[in-house]
Amino acid sequence: METHNPYQLALKQLDRVARKIKLDPNIHEKLKYPKTLLIVSIPIIMDNGKLKVFTGYRVQHNIDRGPSKGGIRFHPDVTLDHVKALAMWMTWKCAVMGLPYGGAKGAVACDPKKLSIREIEKITRRFTTEITPFIGPRKDIPAPDVYTNPQTMAWMMDTFSMHSAHAVPGVVTGKPLAIGGSFGRMEATARGCIFAVDEIMKYLGKELRGSTVVIQGYGNAGSFAHKIAQEKGARIIAVSDSKGGIFNPDGLDYEQVQAFKKKTGSVKNFPGAKNITNKKLLELECDVLIPAALENQITVENAGRIKAGLIAESANGPTTEAAARILFRRKILVIPDIVANAGGVVVSCFEWAQNLMGYFWTEEEVNRRLKDIMVLACRKVWELSREKRIDLRLAAYIVAVERVAEAVRLRGLYP
């Protein structure tokens, strides 16, 4: 039976790499466990005057290469195992991209769609207060993730700064520009993803211009992927959000879809396109499929029916382990999440560095540096995958785990 528990999936992935690289069993053992697990209660007075307690999590997986880094997710379905998996994936992502970070992740189990702005602000501030002793620019640096955004980061930065009695912009990334955010951060995950797609397509002798693209999820990662892929001359034939998807083989215009979603709250029922379920959307024939929503979207159930030429995992963990094996057998190339969606953390790292120096770069500078890092990582992973005849995911994990293992070895075990 295929496991859909993301932590079990993350452990299996680590086991696979450990076997492949004959990882020192002591280091393997250490890397299986998160360094710190924090579960906090978040009591707030709701708008109706009643007190409600939410549960918040912060998991720091590893800090051998530097302070831990990872987003904060607000979602009703999050569990501790979710957060543990996401934290471990952040360790690998930062390592494969060569960033001076370990991995972390945080979450609050809540449904922001059913909360007022005031309630979301209270949850954010109390959650930040509870995790304050564990975060900081030199310790652990949160960022936005699913259903959190620059405003959430502004509240976190403000709360942490109030407790410190001075402004601490470097405690979180993904902040608005006015309080120390970086140019290019909003679009960074999508921009990085499209850089990766462009680069890998080059190796395949193909090009993004003129290719057909399907995107699942229309939030930060998905909607900007639409914008940037369109700017690069691709034809985006289907997009979706949690309410459903839309399909038009002639292409969907970013500005129009964006305006429609802004007005109606969903891409569904966009004029001139056919409504399509999220399930069907994944099975459309296309050159590039970008899952940019949640985990476990490509499973053994549908992997045999995927008709994309290339998959770029903009979401974290959208493909299960067994599905990945089916895709590999079917010669469908997958750019793994730890590379495909790393643009966000790369520019987060730039934002943090700019905060620490108190000196800011232009958007061109940010995008140029992002491209350099994405191309370098893609090349390294691609070459290793060809050399060892393995899929890109295993290659990316080998690069990442070897880098983390080297740091563990060099630092040794304390005490």
146 part of the interface to ligand NAD, by CB under 6 A? yes
Looking at the Cβ atoms of 81 and 406, the one nearer to ligand NAD is 81
158 part of the interface to ligand NAD, by CB under 6 A? no
3-state secondary structure of 289: strand
CA atoms in the 13 A half-sphere facing the CB of 79: 8
Which of 146, 91, 107 is closest to 318 using CA atoms?
Answer: 146
Give the residue, chosen from 27, 213, 292, 349, that forms a contact with ligand NAD under the rule CB under 6 A: 292
DSSP 333-370: EEE-HHHHTTHHHHHHHHHHHHHHHT----HHHHHHHH
Q: Which residues contact 199 (CB under 8 A, 6 or more apart)?
A: 374, 375, 378, 379
Q: How far is the CB of 320 from ligand NAD (least distance, A)?
A: 14
Looking at the Cβ atoms of 10 and 292, the one nearer to ligand NAD is 292
Residue nearest ligand NAD, Cβ-based:
219
187 part of the interface to ligand NAD, by CB under 6 A? no
Site string for ligand NAD, 236-255 (x = CB under 6 A): ----xxx-------------
Looking at the Cβ atoms of 164 and 242, the one nearer to ligand NAD is 242
**Alpha-carbon distance 393 to 153, whole Å?**
31
Could you tell me which residues are beta bridge partners of residue 240?
216, 245
294 part of the interface to ligand NAD, by CB under 6 A? yes
Give the residue, chosen from 173, 216, 230, 355, that forms a contact with ligand NAD under the rule CB under 6 A: 216
Strand 235-241 relative to strand 68-74, pairing: unpaired
Give the residue, chosen from 189, 211, 248, 296, that forms a contact with ligand NAD under the rule CB under 6 A: 189
Site string for ligand NAD, 333-372 (x = CB under 6 A): --------x--x----------------------------
Q: Give the tokens for residue 377.
A: 């990582």
Four-point Cα dihedral 165, 170, 173, 177, nearest 10: 80
User: Percent helix, strand and coil across the chain, each rounded to 5?
Assistant: 50, 20, 30
Active-site residue, selected from the candidate residues 105, 122, 227, 268: 105
**Alpha-carbon distance 65 to 101, whole Å?**
5
Q: How far is the CB of 316 from ligand NAD (least distance, A)?
A: 4
Give the residue, chosen from 54, 218, 382, 397, that forms a contact with ligand NAD under the rule CB under 6 A: 218
Biggest CA-to-CA distance, the chain: 65
Is 20 marked active-site? no
Looking at the Cβ atoms of 116 and 277, the one nearer to ligand NAD is 277
128 part of the interface to ligand NAD, by CB under 6 A? no
Binding-site size for ligand NAD (CB under 6 A) equals 24
Looking at the Cβ atoms of 145 and 351, the one nearer to ligand NAD is 145
Q: Give the tokens for residue 182.
A: 């970086």
CB 174 within 8 A of CB 156: no
Looking at the Cβ atoms of 23 and 68, the one nearer to ligand NAD is 68
313 part of the interface to ligand NAD, by CB under 6 A? no
Site string for ligand NAD, 27-46 (x = CB under 6 A): --------------------
Give the residue, chosen from 145, 199, 287, 351, that forms a contact with ligand NAD under the rule CB under 6 A: 145
Q: Which residues contact 193 (CB under 8 A, 6 or more apart)?
A: 221, 225, 290, 292, 312, 314, 340, 341, 343
320 part of the interface to ligand NAD, by CB under 6 A? no
- Is 25 buried (19+), middle (13-18) or exposed (0-12) by CB count in 10 A? exposed
- Catalytic positions are 105
Contacts with ligand NAD, residue ranges (CB under 6 A): 144-147, 189, 216-222, 240-242, 278, 292-294, 314-316, 341, 344
